[in-house]
Structure 1
Amino acid sequence: MNAPQVARMTARSREAAADWSAVTFGERERRLRRWAAELARSRAALVATIREETGKPAADAELELLVGLEHLAWTARRARRTLRPRRVSPGLLAAEHRARVERRPLGVVGVIGPWNYPALTPLGVLAGVLAAGNAAVFKPSEHTTETGRALVDAFERANPGSAGTLRLLTGGARAGEALCRAGVDKVAFIGSTRTGRAVMAACADSLTPVVLECGGNDALIVGEDADVRAAARAAVWGAFSNAGQTCAGVERIYVARAVGEEFIAALTAELAPVRAGLHYGRLTTGEQEKVVRVHVEDATAHGGRFLFGGPESFRTSGVVDPVVLTDVPEGRPAVQEETFGPVAVVRLVRDLDEGLTLANAVPQALGAAVFSRSADESVAARLRAGMVSVNGVLTFGGIPGLPFGGNGASGFGRVHGREGLMEFTSAQAVTVRRAHLTGSGLTRLRSPWWKRPVLRALIRLRHG
């Protein structure tokens, strides 16, 4: 779609937003649940579409759909409790007033989705947008347009009276830029850091606020007291599921030397039967395959060695078997940048502390994982990541009540959970006078004689 088409779509969405925001929370919940039910009934067709566009196995597509529906159901159910008005104590100086905070819908929100999880990721974001009372204009990735169309069509079938509340915008980068400039009230973008910067720049001219959930370069740290076999199993899932095309997937693995040999043996044993095209799908785009090749070739050219796999892992177009590298210098792209493919870099470190330090030494700060029998929530405070799993990987992504997002080059703002609902509302402070007390004389231009003595006394007694 071109810019004039996008502008007209946004204008029509604004009309729908007025109607949708007037719907009660209870009715919105019912309509979102009907959407979930329609998607569940359409499972076979939707899974087939996801497979055709992304290349992932059927089981992975079904898992993606299930997690997306869980997020949708949780958000629909919790929106009222999260966004209801909140009373605030007015304090001494405004004691004659009632005070509260109202959460108001923004209006029209533009959502730009990714191609790696074309059902899960949009459902998690759109659930918050719609449950909060906004209309949405959804632009899926140009690589997964039909999956996006299936989501929107299911909403319209489930809610024929809500036409226009969720609209589909098709196209690539130009369509996304047009959406940023079309006068929407906020843009939620999920994708690469490079594209996130372009989205932010396009939104800057009109001061359109943005939520950016950008790429990661997540580390898994294995401590000397870790359950090594469990850590190896988790590393294989975190690094190679979805062909490594997961923003919060494991890309770097730091292992305490005390368990280094044991971990590498367990990791290679877990990977031995794994094959691309059988246990995970192909790389979705040719551009992504080029990035993977460049990172692997650069790493080996600068001293990196293959612990598993090799040049033969690149079998046919887009089909890449697992690759594990070691001895890669920390400054090389395979360590400092997001590879987004079935490649992991392993490094032996002195202990958990050194692993945590190296985990923080990249620009991205999306997720992280730690395996250690003695670790608890306190270890998360030492990681510059927006999400941390202890003795697990990616578990935060499957819990609907947890916010999803990162810091640094991984973006800002959050989707999912209470925080995700809050992102798509604005806070409105409201006061209502309920009595006329003598304190009101403090805010009159024609001050009573006692104003200054009272002010002096209050300053001294309350704060001196």
Structure 2
Amino acid sequence: MTVTERPGTPTFTDGFLVSSSPATGAEVGRVAVTDPDDVRAAVATARAASTWWAGLGFGGRRARLLAWRALIVQRLDEITDLMHRENGKPTDDAMLELLITVHHLDWAAKKAAKVLGPRRVPSGMLSSNIAASLEYQPLGVVGVIGPWNYPVFTPMGSIAYALAAGNAVVFKPSEYTPLVGKWLIDTFAEVVPEYPVFTGIFGGGETGAALTAAGVDKIAFTGSTATGKKIMAAAANTLTPVLIECGGKDPLLVDADADLDAAAEAAVWSGMSNGGQTCIGTERIYVHEAVYEPFLAKLTATAKAVTPGEAVDAAYGPATMPSQLDVIRRHVDDALARGGTAVVGGAESVSGPFVGPVVLTDVPEDSAAVQEETFGPTLTVSKVRDMDEAVERANATSYGLGASVFSKRRGIELARRIRSGMTAVNSVLSFAGVAALPFGGVGDSGFGRIHGEDGLREFTRPKSIARQRYPLPMSIYSFGRTDKTNALLIRSMRLLYGRGAPKR
């Protein structure tokens, strides 16, 4: 057994990527690093496999994907233990992540035919002799670059939907959780042994760069905004389309009529579960002045009861990526230096690898703790005069991923006004568990969608087919159009589309 100098830091030794526990530094396992030539070979092999996989049709793919779903559930203890050892999260959190994952896998497998299959569409009066149909065809090979914070749920939002749509997938898991990624690939191969439909490549950032340049038909990336921009720039060289899911600075709004107990409990869990390493987790809270003091008291009491640790049943585990400790510490120090108050924890909470809960008040809106993604178990709490101010502040960052609103009367209204891809009302993160809802952000949180019908279509190309059923007496699409035909077309256009213009 080897132990890294800084727990959780991946190391590269003799052509292998060595994965270690972020809690103890003990080696969890190792995988061979994939060099650029082998990345290109993996994509070429996947392209051949994609033809066979697409040829199975929706029914054949559904059967295989549901078998994979069942295998994952049957080996739940195995994968949750691996997630605990390699990622650091408690096994209960890993179980919840797997539960939501297999729910999405099940939905994608069962709904793909209805969402993507051929269907008739109205052809309109101009083309009354045309039978118009629309279908969605697979792209071919999709490259997926996954994160470490939710090493199963997040990449599977792309993998499962891309596979259900008929694509082959080449997956690069994070260098912090390569073994979890390999487990997914190996279990899929057990139910689809014929061809390498879902394969893996392993390494650091250079391996992801090689995948982007290897001729895939789309890249689905989850990670930082800075890295997302690099992926986009590289993909632009070959006009490779991209799906970018980056971070967030997610707000939670508490209205004057909110259930304060529910809001406080939800805010702490959303902001601190998984060690705060949740892109859709709460980081900022805006509270109506009428309930600010009682809410803060409840929030403080709830947060103080949360304790991280290495145990499998701890509230949350260590910071998976050691360098994130520096970001958390900088944000807390800056907030305190600029007049903020720590009502729970403080600078001493960031001692690593386990970061204690931190709740900050009176933090300036232009501080790093409010404007930048912290990705740790920290919350900033601000008093606002009304919900208009809360919405204004919620929207005053470059991010726009998730959000939450607690309000008995105005929840939906406020949710619509928040600039985010998803918003939960009187709950947190609930949109992630609804397979029919698309998931994605705006602004620095990225673009494109996984999950739901939009998530299936994300990994396809629409194919339009117009079949002439019978010829019309007059040919519109022809050089043989007569003056009489043109006059009739003009009269028809005026009759159908010329009404309603303002009078001059």
Report the TM-score range of the alignment, normalised by the length of the smaller protein. Answer: over 0.9
Mark the runs of 5 or more structure 2 residues left unpaired by the alignment.
Answer: 1-33, 499-504
Map 1:1-400; keep pairs closer than 5 Å: 1-161=34-194, 163-277=195-309, 278-315=314-351, 317-400=352-435
Aligned length: 461
Tell me the SS of whatever aligns to 2:127: coil
Structure-2 residue corresponding to 1:450: 484
Q: 1:430 aligns with which of 448, 460, 465?
A: 465
Q: RMSD of aligned C-alpha atoms?
A: 1.1
Which structure carries more relative contact order (alpha carbon 8 Å, separation 6+)? 1
Q: Residue 455 of structure 1: CA displacement?
A: 2.1
Q: Deviations over 1:326-353 (max 9, x none)?
A: 1111111110010000111111111112
Structure-1 residue corresponding to 2:15: none
Q: Residue 89 of structure 1: CA displacement?
A: 1.6
Same amino acid, percent of matched pairs? 48
1:370 and 1:38 mapped to 2: Cα distance?
37
Tell me the SS of whatever aligns to 1:17: helix
Contact persistence 1:365–1:410 (CA under 8 A) = yes
Contact persistence 1:375–1:390 (CA under 8 A) = no
Q: Residue 43 of structure 1: CA displacement?
A: 1.4
Contact persistence 1:71–1:416 (CA under 8 A) = yes
Tell me the SS of whatever aligns to 2:464: strand
Contact persistence 2:89–2:317 (CA under 8 A) = yes
Q: Residue 302 of structure 1: CA displacement?
A: 1.1
Q: Deviations over 1:84-138 (max 9, x none)?
A: 1221222222221111111110000001110000011122221100000000001
Q: TM-score, normalised by structure 1?
A: 0.98
Tell me the SS of whatever aligns to 1:286: coil
Q: 1:411 aligns with which of 417, 440, 446?
A: 446
2:490 and 2:429 mapped to 1: Cα distance?
56
Tell me the SS of whatever aligns to 2:199: strand
Contact persistence 2:329–2:347 (CA under 8 A) = no
2:477 and 2:429 mapped to 1: Cα distance?
54
Q: TM-score, normalised by structure 2?
A: 0.90
Contact persistence 1:180–1:203 (CA under 8 A) = yes
Q: What letter corresponds to residue 377 of structure 2 in structure 1?
A: P
Contact persistence 1:34–1:159 (CA under 8 A) = no
2:366 and 2:482 mapped to 1: Cα distance?
69
2:180 and 2:140 mapped to 1: Cα distance?
25
Contact persistence 1:306–1:325 (CA under 8 A) = yes
Q: What letter corresponds to residue 123 of structure 1 in structure 2?
A: M
Contact persistence 1:69–1:123 (CA under 8 A) = no
Q: Deviations over 1:396-426 (max 9, x none)?
A: 0111111110100000000011110010011
Q: Deviations over 1:213-255 (max 9, x none)?
A: 1100000010111111110000011100000000000000001
2:321 and 2:122 mapped to 1: Cα distance?
55
Q: Deviations over 1:30-75 (max 9, x none)?
A: 1001111111122122111111111111111111111111110111
Tell me the SS of whatever aligns to 1:432: strand
Q: Residue 438 of structure 1: CA displacement?
A: 1.1
